Amino acid sequence: MPIGMVPAGTGNGMVKSLLDSAGEICSPSNAILAVIRGHTRSLDVATISQGKTRFFSVLMLAWGLIADIDIESEKYRWMGSARIDFYALQRITYLRHYNGRVSFVPAPGFEEYGEQTSYSGEPSCETSTSQQESLNIQQPGYLGSDVKLENMHWRTISGPFVSIWLHNVPWGSEDVLAAPNAMFSDGYLDLIIVKDIPKLSLLSLLSKMNDGSHVHCPHVMYLKVKAFVLEPGARIDDPTKEGIIDSDGELLARGNVTYKGNVKCYMAYDKLQITVDQGLATLFAPV
């Protein structure tokens, strides 16, 4: 069933990506016209898994700086979209570095990133009663890709990290071209990694996100991956504090002594795995 999208949120990254691909301005009227015309296009869907818990993502997953800005800036929602820029300056001033490790199956041409490793098995984690009840309801539905990950060629990169960002489409919001080389249904996710970076360079990097040129910064690793495993850790400055994992603007997981909020987490702040189903979803598109 095709899904029609209208920009009515803070970021609107998905509909911006759809309309921009046809050279159209991101507006409700253009989005509605795209639905009326009835043209469709396929979209990759990422399955995020941890034990028996599944979360399906179509836009992005973030851990570190981008996730902290996206989720923690909610307390300034009254500022509108300006909250993102305002809180980004705070987070750069008091920059956090996180321990952790990422493992991935690189797309052809990106095999030089990281060090060779092997698949360590699907993440397992205890689920809460509420999570288990949700799982029982969702079991008859689609449970994600059954690809044999142990047969793939894995690479790994260890922290500390400033930011890990996975993107399915080019635009993260109407003014952030997060992954300029991302495609709607190529079967890969675009991975943006930032490790050690001076604060002034990071400020410059963030200012270049409106045109996608940040991916050419020497402090950025930008590659495509078929599968991905995140093992998040604690902050370098205070090991008692952990971070936030954000997917499609939702608080996916939250570590110790971090932003509280009112939102229930879907997963534990622990190892999780992401696989991609090529073209699983269908969207109404301008062309």
**Which tokens go with 240?**
């008692």
Q: What are phi and psi of 203, to 5 degrees?
A: -60, -45
Half-sphere exposure of 1 (CA within 13 A, CB side): 2
Q: pLDDT tens digits, residue range 115-166?
A: 999 887 777 665 555 445 544 445 557 777 777 888 899 999 998 999 999 9
Q: What percent of the chain has pLDDT over 90?
A: 67
Instruction: Assess contact for 239 and 128: CB atoms under 8 A.
Output: no
Q: pLDDT tens digits, residue range 73-111?
A: 777 676 666 777 778 888 888 999 999 999 999 999 999
**pLDDT bucket at 263, cuts 50 / 70 / 90:** low
Mean pLDDT of the chain: 88
DSSP E strands: which ranges in 118-243?
Answer: 154-158, 163-167, 189-194, 220-235
Instruction: Assess contact for 46 and 57: CB atoms under 8 A.
Output: yes
Q: How many CB atoms lie within 10 A of CB 42?
A: 14
What is the number of residues in the chain?
287
